Amino acid sequence: MRDIYCLTLFLLFLVMSGMQVQKKEKVIFFGDSITNAGVKPGGYITLMQEKIKKDGGPDYELIGAGIGGNKVYDLYLRFQEDVLDKKPDVVVIYIGVNDVWHKQSNQTGTDPDKFVAFYTAMIKKLQASGIRVIVCTPAVIGERTDFSNSQDGDLNRYSQMIRDLAAKYGCGLVDLRKAFLEYNLANNPGNKESGILTTDRVHLNPTGNQLVADLMFKGLSTK
C-alpha cells in the first residue's frame, strides 16, 4: 500500500512538473489618436477585449498606447517608457496618418527618408529585445474610391514603405490601407469622402472600428 502511495505521489509530481502556468500574451498597440480612441467604448481595442471575454480566448492582455497628433518620431521619443519598459510580448505599430496628413494641414509632416529611419530604428530595438512586431499601413485620409482624395498618393507611398519594412525585417503586417480601399470599393457607391468607415475622413466610426478589430485579431493569430 505504501509503495502504491509513493508511486502515486511520484506520478503526480511528474505531471505537475510538466504543467506550466499559462501566461497572458501582452500586446501593446502603439500609435496616434486612432489608437487612443481604440481603448474607449466602441473602440477597436475595446471590441477585441470584449470578444476575448465573451469567447474565452485567445489569452491576450491588450494595452493601448496612443496619443493624438503623434507622428513616427513622436513614437520614437516615447518608445522606451511607453513600450520597452512595459516588457510586451507583441507590439503593434499603427502610425503614418499624421506623417502624411500634417504635410498639408500643418506643414509638419514627415519626409519619407526620416519616416523609414525612425520606423526602422523601432523595429530593430523591438526585435533585439525578443518582441514580436506587427506593423500596420495607414488606412485612409478620405474615403472616395476614385483616388480623388488629395493625399491618396502620399498615403499609398507611405503604406508601401511600411509593407517593404515588414518584408525586410520579417514583421507581421496588417494592411489596413488595402482592406479599407477594398471595403470602400464595395460599399461606397456614392463616392462619399467619409461616413463609410470613418467619421471625419480619418477617425473610425463603429463599422471601421469593427473592421480594424477583426483585422488586428487576424494579424495577432498569424505567426
Q: Kindly give the confidence (pLDDT) of every residue in the chain, 223 residues in length, as a single tens digit, with 9 standing for 90 and above.
A: 555 554 455 555 544 444 445 678 999 999 999 999 999 999 999 999 999 999 887 789 999 999 999 999 999 999 999 999 999 999 999 999 999 998 876 778 899 999 999 999 999 999 999 999 999 999 999 999 998 999 999 999 999 999 999 999 999 999 999 999 999 999 999 999 999 999 999 999 999 999 999 999 999 998 7
Whole-model pTM?
A: 0.88
Question: Cα(159)–Cα(137) distance, rounded to whole angstroms?
Answer: 5
What DSSP string runs through the chain? Answer: -HHHHHHHHHHHHHHHHH--PPPPEEEEEEESHHHHHHTSTT-HHHHHHHHHHHHT---EEEEEEE-TT--HHHHHHTHHHHTGGG--SEEEEE--HHHHHHHHHTS----HHHHHHHHHHHHHHHHHTT-EEEEE----SS--TTS-STTHHHHHHHHHHHHHHHHHHT-EEE-HHHHHHHHHHHH-TT--SSSSSBSSSSSB-HHHHHHHHHHHHHHHH--
Q: Domain 22-221 - what CATH class?
A: alpha beta
Cell numbers for 67, please give them.
496619443
Cell numbers for 90, please give them.
507583441
Listed by start position, the domains of the chain span: 22-221
pLDDT for position 22: 62
pLDDT for position 17: 44
Give residues with Cβ within 8 angstroms of 146, minimum separation 6: 191
Question: Cα(41)–Cα(60) distance, rounded to whole angstroms?
Answer: 18
pLDDT for position 169: 98
- Residue 104 · residue 93 · CB < 8 Å: no
Q: Return the amino acid letter for 7.
A: L
pLDDT for position 15: 45
pLDDT for position 194: 98
